[in-house]
Structure 1
Amino acid sequence: MKGEPVIPAEDEPGLADRVLGGWLGRIAGNMLGKPVEQGEVWTRERIDRYLRLSRALPLTDYLPEPPDEDTCLALRPEWRECVRGRIHGSCRDDDVDYAVLGLHLLETHGFGFSTEQVGDLWLLRLPYLQTFTAERAAYRNLASGIKPPLTATYDNPYQEWIGALIRADVYGWTSPGDPGRAAALARRDAVLSHTGNGVYGAMWAAALIASAFTAPTVRAAVERALLVVPAGSRLARTVRRAASLHEAGMRWEDTLSTLAQETAGLGWIHTVPNAAVITAGLLYGDGDFTRTIALTVRGGLDTDSNGATAGSVAGVLTGARAIPAQWKDPLEDTVRSAVFGFDGVRVSDLAERTLRLVTLPG
C-alpha cells in the first residue's frame, strides 16, 4: 500500500483542513451526545422534550444545561463538562481514546500492523476500566493469554455491538479517497473484539470517512462505503433502507421510526440500529455540519458514538475552517484521554500527525 496514489499532491492544503475537520468533528459530535448517552433512558422523544423545555430547538450548539432537577439526575454524570458554557477542552471518552490509540498504532507499527499488535497496544496503553462491552471482554481474554481471533468469541456476548465501529476513524482519515484500503485496515483491528455486523460496521465507517474526502455528495459517500461490506449483511440492508427512505422523501422523524421498528430487539448499543441513525443524520444533514450532528444525536441510541462518527464524516466533508465556531472554540484545541501518554494533547497536533501518515504519490 506504500506509495499508493490517493490524492493529488497539490491538494495537500485542503487535505490537511479535512483531516483536522475529521478530528474536530469527531470530538464535537461526541461531546454533543455525551450527556444523553443511555439509549433506553434517553429516547428520541425524551431528548427532544429536553430541548423544547430548554428552548434549544432547532439544536445549533452543545446541549444547554438541564432545565430541571429530574433532567439533571437522568443525564450522564459527565454532563457538567459537556454542556454549553461549561466546556473547556474535550472531556475524556472512549470514542476519542480509540482514535488516539489508532493513531499511535499506525505510528508505531505502520499500515502492516497485525491484530495481535492492536491487542498488545491495548494492554500497554489503555486502562482496563476504560474499556466496555466487547472491548472489555477482548481485553480480559488478552490478559488471560487468549490470542485473536478467539479474543472476539470467547465469553463475549457483545460481538456485534458498536465498539469496533468507533475505532475505525483513523483508517479512513489515513486512506483519503480509498474506501477499500480503509475497510481492510479497520477489519484487521475489529476482529480483535468483534464478528459479523460488528466487523462490518467498522469497515463501513472507515470506508465512509475515506469516501468523504472525494465523494461529490454525502449520498455518494454512503453508497461508496456500502461496496466494502457484504451486500446481504443486515448492516448493508439497513443502511440501504435508510437511504431509500430518504430518497423517497420521507421525513427524518418518520424514517427513524420506520428503522426503529425494523431493527427492534437488537438493543441500543448494537451496530445495526446505530448505523441507521448515523446514515439518517448524514443524509438529512446534507453536508451541513451543525444539522448533521444535531440530527444524529437527536436520533437517540448510542448518542455520543453516533455523534462522533457523523461529526467525523461531516468534518471531513466541510473541512475544519467551515465548522462553525460554537463547536470548535470551546474545545480549546485540547483532548483529554485515558490513553497513556496522550492526556492533554492538542487536537491540531493529532491532526498533523495523522496527515504525516497519509500516503501521497512520490
Structure 2
Amino acid sequence: MKMLLLSVLMVTLLSATTLPVKPPKVAPKTITVTKSALQNKIKGGWAGQLIGCTFGGPTEFRFTGTMINDYQPIPWYNGYIKHTMLNTPGLYDDIYMDLTFVDVFERKGINAPVSEHANAYANAGYMLWHANQAGRYNLLNGMKAPESGHWLNNPHADDIDFQIEADFSGLMAPGMPNTAVQIGDPIGHIMNYGDGWYGGAYVGAMYSLAFLPTGQTGVSKDVNYIVREALKTIPAHSTFYQCIADVIKWHEQFPNDWKRNWFEIQRKWSSEVGCPDGVFRAFNIDAKLNSAYIVLGLLYGGGDFTKTMEISTRAGQDSDCNPSSAGGILGTLLGYDKIPPYWKQGLKEAEDIDFKYTTMSLNDVYAMGMKHALQVVELNGGSVAGEQVTIAVQTPKAVRLEQAFTGHYPVLIKNIQKDLENEYSIDFEGVGFVLRGEAKTKDRSLSNAASANNDINFAFNAELYIDEKKVETVKLPVNFTQRRHELFWKYQLSKGKHTIRIKLLNPDTDHVVHMTDLLVYSDKPIKSI
C-alpha cells in the first residue's frame, strides 16, 4: 500500500513540474542531392546577398537608433541592380570582401593557411573601416592573426565586419554547420574576436543549414529551425547567444508584431561598449545587434522574400548588410529558381559584371562556389558520384567561449578637437581609454581618397606614455587605406587616475595629427536612473 501511494505521489509530482517536450527535429546522417539542386541553392545564396545589399544600400546607417517607417519608400525596379553595380560599386563591400577569401581558396586551395587570406585582405585595394581596417593596420605593421583581431589590439573586435563577410563559409559547407564555423574561424579572427567572431560563425551556420531539405511543415517552420539550430554553434554564456535567444523568445511572445520585438531589442541590447564610434551615440555597428535584425527579418518574414527584405532593412543601422545576409540565407533555402521574379528583375544582365576590386562576376562565383562546396563535401565524409552528391550532415556544436571588453564600461567622452604639434597630455580616471583622431594632410580640400594617393609614403611616428612609462611607438600613416583607425588605446589598466602623454617624433608642415576625443572606461557601469 505504501509503495502504491508513493508511486501515485511520484506521478502527481512529475505531472505537476514537467511540460510535454516536442521531440527535436533530428537531421539525417546523410542526404543525397543532385548537383543541379546544389548549384541552385548556391546561386540562390549569392544572388540573395546581392539583392539584399542593393535594396538596403540607400538606407545604410541613415536610420540609427530608429526603424525605417513604413511610409519611407525604398526603390526597386528593373535595371536597378546593374545601375548600382556600375555606378555605386563600393556599396558591395560585404560581397567583394567575401570574394577576397573565395579567391584565395580558388588560387591556393581549400586548405590554404590563414596567412594567405590575411595577406590578400591586408593588401587589397579597397578602403576599409572599423574591425577590418584595425585588423589590416595590425597586419601591415607586423602583427599576425589571431592577435590582429583580439580586442586588446583591436577596439572594433565586436563589430559586424566578419559577420558581413562570412557567407562564403556556409555556402562552402552545405549541411555541415560545424565545418562552416571551422572554415571561418581563422579568417574571422583576422579582424574580430568574441561576439564579432560569433556573428560570422552564426551567419555561416545558418547558410549551411539552409541547404537541408525543407520539411512538410513548409518554409516558415524551416526558417525557424535554421535560426534556432544555428544558434547551437554559439556558447550559451556569450552575450551574442543571449541576444539572439531573446529575439527568438520575443518572436514567440509577439509573433505578429516585429516592431514590438525591435523595441525590446533596442531596450536591452542597443548600448555599445566596444566600437569607439558608437559609444554614447545612436550609431551601432555591433555584431549581435545587427545579427538580431537579420534574425528579425528571417523570423517575421516567415519564408516570404519580400517581408524578409523589408523587415531586415527597416530595422535600421547597417541596413544593407543585414538584408544581404538575410536574403542570402533565405535565397539558399529557397534556391535561385524560387526567388520571386520581382526581386530578380534585371539580375541576369548584372551577373557578368565583375565586382569592384575583383575579376569575378556573379556567374564566376556561382561556378567557384559549386567547385569549392563539392571539395568540402568530399573532405568531410561525403561523396560525389556522377550527378549525385551525398552530404554527411552535421549536428551543430558550440564553439569555445570568448568575450571582449569584459570588466570595461564606458563612462565618459572628453572632447579634445586639437592638432598634435609636438606633445599632448591629458588625465583621466578609469581602467582603459581610446584616443580617437586621424593623421591627414593639412589640405582639407582633398578627399580622404585623394589625400591617400598624394601622401602615400608619409607616416607620422609617435610615442605613447602612460603615467610617464613608455608603452609603444607606432606609425600613423596619412594614407587612408593604411591608417590606424584610432590613434591610441589601452585596456586593463589598474583602476585609478592616469596621465596619457603623446609625443610626435616627426612633425611635418604638410600633415597633421588631429585628436577628436578621449573615450574613458571604468570597471563599473554608470548607475542607471
TM-score normalised per structure 1: 0.83
Residues of 2 paired with 1:39 and 1:277: CA distance?
A: 15
2:226 maps to which of 218, 221, 229? 221
Alignment partner of 1:276 is 2:292: yes
Provide the alpha-carbon RMSD of the alignment: 2.1
Mapped contact 2:147–2:153 kept (Cα < 8 A): no
Q: CA shift at 1:348, angstroms?
A: 2.2
Residues of 2 paired with 1:34 and 1:6: CA distance?
A: 39
Whose radius of gyration is greater, 1 or 2? 2
Alignment-mate amino acid for residue 136 of structure 1: Q
TM-superposition CA deviations, 1:147-182 (whole Å, max 9, x none): 122211365211100001111111100100010100
Going from structure 1 to structure 2, the CA distance change for 1:42 and 1:28 (only over 3 Å counts) comes to: farther
TM-superposition CA deviations, 1:280-320 (whole Å, max 9, x none): 10011111122111211011110011011001101001111
Q: Determine the structure 2 residue equivalent to 1:330.
A: 346
Q: CA shift at 1:192, angstroms?
A: 0.5
Partner SS state of residue 48, structure 1: coil
Q: Determine the structure 2 residue equivalent to 1:197.
A: 195
Q: Determine the structure 2 residue equivalent to 1:94.
A: 93
Alignment partner of 1:168 is 2:173: no
Partner SS state of residue 192, structure 1: helix
Q: Which runs of 4+ in 1 moved over 4 A?
A: 39-42, 82-86
Q: Determine the structure 2 residue equivalent to 1:240.
A: 245
Q: CA shift at 1:260, angstroms?
A: 1.0
Q: Determine the structure 1 residue equivalent to 2:267.
A: 261
Number of equivalent positions: 323
Q: Determine the structure 1 residue equivalent to 2:139.
A: 142
Q: CA shift at 1:241, angstroms?
A: 1.0
Q: Determine the structure 1 residue equivalent to 2:179.
A: 181
TM-superposition CA deviations, 1:3-57 (whole Å, max 9, x none): xx9652x422111111000010000000111111015558314x53423xxxxxx
Q: Determine the structure 1 residue equivalent to 2:409.
A: none
Alignment partner of 1:309 is 2:325: yes
Residues of 2 paired with 1:38 and 1:120: CA distance?
A: 29
Q: Determine the structure 1 residue equivalent to 2:60.
A: 37
Q: Which has the higher strand share?
A: 2
Going from structure 1 to structure 2, the CA distance change for 1:215 and 1:269 (only over 3 Å counts) comes to: farther
140-149 vs 165-174, greater mean Cα deviation: 140-149
Going from structure 1 to structure 2, the CA distance change for 1:43 and 1:215 (only over 3 Å counts) comes to: farther
Alignment partner of 1:27 is 2:32: no
Q: Determine the structure 2 residue equivalent to 1:339.
A: 357
Q: CA shift at 1:337, angstroms?
A: 2.4
Residues of 1 paired with 2:149 and 2:161: CA distance?
A: 12
Residues of 2 paired with 1:26 and 1:117: CA distance?
A: 25
Mapped contact 1:36–1:42 kept (Cα < 8 A): no
Mapped contact 2:79–2:345 kept (Cα < 8 A): no
Going from structure 1 to structure 2, the CA distance change for 1:311 and 1:39 (only over 3 Å counts) comes to: same
Q: CA shift at 1:273, angstroms?
A: 0.7
Q: Determine the structure 1 residue equivalent to 2:39.
A: 16
Structure 2: runs of 5+ lacking an equivalent: 1-28, 215-221, 273-277, 279-283, 378-382, 385-529
Question: Within 5 Å, which residues of 2 pair with 1:7-86?
Answer: 7-8=31-32, 10-41=33-64, 43-45=66-68, 47-51=69-73, 63-64=74-75, 86=80
Alignment partner of 1:108 is 2:123: no
Q: CA shift at 1:122, angstroms?
A: 1.3
Structure ranking higher on relative contact order (CA contacts 8 Å, 6+ apart): 1
Residues of 2 paired with 1:12 and 1:86: CA distance?
A: 31
Residues of 2 paired with 1:230 and 1:275: CA distance?
A: 16
1:349 maps to which of 342, 345, 364? 364
Partner SS state of residue 338, structure 1: coil
Residues of 2 paired with 1:257 and 1:215: CA distance?
A: 34
Structure 1: runs of 5+ lacking an equivalent: 52-62, 65-81
Mapped contact 1:159–1:193 kept (Cα < 8 A): yes
Alignment-mate amino acid for residue 261 of structure 1: R
Alignment-mate amino acid for residue 226 of structure 1: L
15-24 vs 100-109, greater mean Cα deviation: 100-109
Partner SS state of residue 131, structure 1: coil
Partner SS state of residue 174, structure 2: coil
